[in-house]
Structure 1
Amino acid sequence: MFIALPSFLGLVMCFFWNDIIATVACIKGERWKHHTGELDLVFPS
């Protein structure tokens, strides 16, 4: 959950905002998802 929370926030910002900060957060979320593997259940590709 400690990793899922910031990743979730990053993806939410990516969906709702179209600015540089949101894009960076979205990319971080994607990288965390691939590194952990657990978040694939929460955010299926």
Structure 2
Amino acid sequence: MRTNVSIGWQKRESIWAKMRNHIRIILRRYKYLPDKQLVAIDLVMH
């Protein structure tokens, strides 16, 4: 996931979207409850 982090402010939203997708994939892989995924993603992103 660290490879997706860059300084380009114009690309910030697309970078955050990619990071959210990677987190979502990881949560699915470990069978995290779907109804709690949004809370977990927010926790990781902030």
TM-score by length of 1: 0.42
Which entry has the higher C-alpha Rg, 1 or 2? 2
Query: Normalized against structure 2, the TM-score is what?
Result: 0.41
Of structures 1 and 2, the one scoring higher in RCO (CA 8 A, sep 6+) is 1
